[in-house]
Structure 1
Amino acid sequence: MAADVLSEVLSAVRLTGSVFFDVTATSPWVAEAPPSAEIADAVMPGAQHAIEYHLVTRGSCWISIVGGAPFEPVQLREGDIAVIPHGEPHVVSSAPGMRAEPDLKVHRRPNDDSALPFQLKTGNEGASDAHLICGFFACDVRPFNPLLEALPRFMRISRGTSSATDGLLEQFIRSASAEMRDKRAGAQSVLNKLSELVFIDAIRSYMDELSTENTGWLSALRDPLVGRAIALLHGQPARSWTLEELAAESGASRSGLASRFTYLMGYPPIQYLTRWRMQLAAKRLSEKGVKVAAVAQEVGYDSEAAFSRAFKRFSGRSPSEWRS
């Protein structure tokens, strides 16, 4: 049930992957990435948010987040993938403690995707000691992205996490090497889809590691009671749910569901439903030819006017303003 909800959210927030850089590095070397907010539209035109990732296919390197709360450098070894969900500035280097000036010029998507990934060589001359594949995941953050809110500042997925993860990482590495070498038609699309699969599996691995003390959307999905309630809301978002009906179908008391849901999510079930409806509506409004009245009905509003008021109250824009 939780897996289906995760799939629905990934679709609603329009997750898309992109393999952007093919990096060959010779020590000593360093590259610093700016905040993703500064480059999101350049690397993924139209993206509200960009998540950066780095996959080490050979050798090793160090990664550290700069600015904000202290973050100790982390060593990445062959087969590791690092993900920076919230787009914080960070440094990837041959040794910890190195810094560089971010190069904004390289973060511009070409008109023809066949030009991707950009091949970059960095560091000294001579035989390289590291090879990385780096890219981005674009997604919507507005009006509601419960997944992004639940992810940590940094994620590292290594070989040995699970057999499924190992299989995806190996396939991604093999395919990336072959596609970059042979430049076959559709290579970028293949690599982008594989990167998305690796990211989704990374989310699932992170979710499996959460303890019972964790809160947030992913913890809520894992919770037997709250997970059932969320699945019901996602299954029938247009239904005029009441807390009593949701509790009954979830197999709990009204107070029990409200208390547990609010503890894990920070707000009650019906407020979650409203947020989810607004995200569904935002996605539909981005599609050409879809009428506002039809969207209103799809997400559970009897009138276009009532929907428009609710959407503007939540997003700060009317449906027509959002669409434009």
Structure 2
Amino acid sequence: MDVLSDVLLAVRLTGAVYFDIDARSPFVAESPPTDVIAAKVAGDAEHLIAFHVLTSGSCWVEAVDEPEPAELMRAGEMVIFSSGEANILSSEPGMRGQPDLSRYYRPVGEALPFVIDINGDAHADRCRIVCGYLACDRGPFNPLLESLPRMVHAPVSGRSWGWMTSLLDAALAASDERDAGQEAMLAKLSELMFLEALRTHIDGLPPDTRSWVAGLRDREVGSALRLMHGRFAEPWTLEQLAREIGISRSSLAERFTSYVGVPPMTYLARWRLQLAARLLQSGSLSVAQAAATVGYQSESAFNRAFKRQVGAAPGTWRRRELAPVPPQEGGGPSEP
């Protein structure tokens, strides 16, 4: 079981490329917090992750109102703001801009991405930045969001970056002609690049890092996660899990908790609720059927656990989730 892919599917990760920016220094582009523009950008998404990919040149990137200094971003690198905080791309560190909120909306009569030219010195170095968002569920349980730093700055590995860049250039060229399917192509490519950046981030973590993503590469913790994700409906006990991995119960409990932050059985219970929530949202199963599918022997026990984690009974939560989302007013982007 590929645990990372399993989580990305269960939290309904979907991408969108919004801006294709061609900039020459001096320039600065400030993006607003994603919670400010989420309703217009992604409708009913619970959470938006912002990302930028630099395909040529270099620039500086930093989070607004964060103490960390700006970082230099080079061609072939991706930066991810997992919490969706306001951020800045600029030709020099320390520059500040003003986000233009009118640029953030889902176009009806045209396709994404919006092309933006930031014209500085005509003789200055040029950089190209592809910017977008990844929508996902925050709850009932998203272990990835809880374990990522606020900003992930990761180079995409050389072999993968070559063909990804070729695909990205092809998709952006198609967007110039508004070819059929190009927006969907860009969306899927952004998801793929996000996954590759996460893999690079995980591989580069220091050996003493303790988090859910670091646990994926640990032998015992990774094995426990793969077993629970691959066979989530089984009536696992800590003893059975430890026996299959080949370590003692106490060692597994201690090691798993040090990485993931909760004991194995607590993690399994929360993951089952995440899967059950997706089944409930599909509308094809009853509450009792969803409970049984994820391993609950009792519907009442499932109802109690779901309400404790989510704050509402399963049926109430599903009706709220499936209710139509009111349309958001949108306008056209103003000139740069």
TM-score bracket, normalised by the shorter chain, equals over 0.9
Q: How much does 1:101 deviate?
A: 1.9
Q: Which amino acid aligns with 2:72?
A: Q
Distance 2:163 2:310 in 1: 37
Q: What residue is the counterpart of 1:119 in the other structure?
A: 115
1:11-22 equivalences under 5 Å are 11-22=9-20
1:168–1:197 contact (8 Å) kept in structure 2: no
Q: 2:106 aligned with 1:109, yes or no?
A: yes
Change (3 A) 1:19 1:262: same
Q: Counterpart of 2:191 in structure 1: which amino acid?
A: E
- Code of the residue aligned with 1:87 in structure 2: it is G
Spell out, residue by residue over 1:29-86, the C-alpha distance to the aligned partner (whole angstroms, 9 max, x if none).
2121121111122211111111111122233221111114x11111222232221111
Cα displacement string for residues 229-274 of structure 1 (whole angstroms, at most 9, x for unaligned residues) = 1111112211221111111111111111111111111211100001
Aligned to 2:259: 264
Which residue pairs with 2:39 in the alignment? 41
SS state of the match for residue 185, structure 2? helix
Determine if the alignment matches structure 1 residue 132 to structure 2 residue 132. no
Aligned to 2:89: 92
Instruction: Give the total of aligned pairs.
Output: 318
Q: In 1, are the aligned partners of 2:61 and 2:90 still within 8 Å (CA)?
A: yes
Q: What does the per-residue CA deviation read over 1:252-299, in whole Å, with 9 as the maximum and x for residues that have no partner? A: 111111111111112111000011011111111111332111111011
Give the stretch that moved more between structures: 310-319 or 94-103.
94-103
In 2, Cα distance between the equivalents of 1:211 and 1:65?
A: 23
CA distance in 2, matches of 1:139, 1:217: 18
Contact 1:79–1:169 under 8 Å retained in 2 = no
* Equivalent position to 1:59, from 32, 54, 57: 57
Deviations 1:110-155 (A, max 9, x none): 235x521112223448578222211011111111111112212222
Seen in structure 2, the aligned counterparts of structure 1 residues 89 and 210 have a Cα distance that, compared at 3 Å, is same
* Correspondence list, 1:249-260, <5 A: 249-260=244-255
Structure 1 vs Structure 2 CA RMSD: 1.8
Q: How does the TM-score come out when normalised to structure 2?
A: 0.89
Q: Which amino acid aligns with 1:313?
A: R
One-letter code of the match for 2:117? Answer: K
Measure, in 1, the Cα distance between the counterparts of 2:120 and 2:214: 45
Inter-partner Cα distance in structure 2 for 1:230 and 1:47: 27
Q: Paired residue for 1:309, among 289, 299, 304?
A: 304
Cα distance in 1 for partners of 2:60, 2:167 equals 21
Task: Calculate percent identity across the aligned residue pairs.
Answer: 46
**Paired residues of 2:30 and 2:89 also in contact (CA < 8 A):** yes
Distance 2:262 2:232 in 1: 17
Partner residue, 1:146: 143
Where does residue 177 of structure 1 map in the other structure?
172
> How far apart are the structure 2 equivalents of 1:143 and 1:123?
44
Larger mean Cα displacement after TM superposition, 278-287 or 50-59: 50-59
Alignment-derived partner of residue 218 in structure 1: 213
Query: CA distance change for structure 1 residues 172 and 152 in 2, over 3 Å: closer, same or farther?
Result: farther
Does 2:4 align with 1:6?
A: yes
Say whether the 8 Å CA contact 2:26–2:121 is kept in structure 1: no
2:236 matched to which residue of 1?
241
Structure 1 residues without counterparts, runs of 5 or longer = none
2:330 aligned partner: none
Tell me how far apart the structure 2 counterparts of residues 44 and 277 of structure 1 sit (CA, whole Å).
Answer: 26
Q: In the alignment, which residue of structure 1 is the partner of 2:195?
A: 200
Q: Secondary structure at the match of 1:286?
A: helix
Is residue 159 of structure 2 the alignment partner of residue 163 of structure 1? yes
* Unaligned runs of at least 5 residues, structure 2: 321-336
Moved runs in structure 1, 4+ residues, more than 3 A? 123-128
CA distance in 2, matches of 1:298, 1:184: 42
Using the alignment, how far apart are the partners of 2:71 and 2:167 within structure 1? Answer: 22
CA distance in 1, matches of 2:123, 2:313: 57
